[in-house]
Amino acid sequence: MGGVPDSETERPTVIPIKEAATTFLANRRIAVTGVSGKPQGHGSNVVYQRLRSRGYQVFAVNPNAETVEGDPSYPDLASVPDGVDAVVIGTRADRAEDTVRECVELGITQVWMHRGFGAGSVSAAAAELGRANGITVIDGGCPLMFGPTADAGHKVICSMLRIFGKIPRQV
């Protein structure tokens, strides 16, 4: 299985970004952290809205909001009824490691750390923790740049971010 080591001493298989994105987006129950109760111009909310509009079961995770985009918000991943298959991390990078730690505890094996032009949610320590525990971690870019969630604007941004090395070629 891609991304999972065969033994404790073996490094994980390297997966091309397009393949990792396709696998991630094949999950139908996805949590998005960092969504805001005040969504105006907030990147995590854009991801949340697009996933929802494309038929995903999407769950907002924000300990400071009861509802987001008219839907219930959950304080943490463990509170989502029946769990999730994948997580988009849209919080500050310094919170990503805690989210990945929770993913390890819950057995969630797909994580995407959102990043556009700035630092975004990418944390090297969180990526290392996830990969050491068998999680496929996409550390950069946006799920809206790939597959069934993509639009023309995100595809253009994806091309630009690749030039500046903000999207990994492989994970």
How far apart CA 112 and CA 21 sit, in angstroms, is 9
Q: Could you state, in order of their start, the residue ranges of all structural domains in the chain?
A: 17-163
Say if residues 100 and 88 touch (Cβ distance below 8 Å): no
The model's pTM is 0.86
Residue 60 forms beta bridges with which residues?
A: 32, 73
- Mean pLDDT score, 8-34: 86
- The CATH code that applies to domain 17-163 is 3.40.50.720
Q: Which CA distances in Å does 141 have to 24, 91, 164?
A: 13, 14, 11
Please enumerate in sequence order all residues whose Cβ is within 8 A of that of 129, keeping only pairs 6 or more positions apart, or say none.
97, 100, 101, 104
pLDDT over threshold 70, residue 144: yes
Which 3 state secondary structure label does DSSP give 91?
coil
Most confident residue range from 32-46, 99-113, 116-130? 99-113
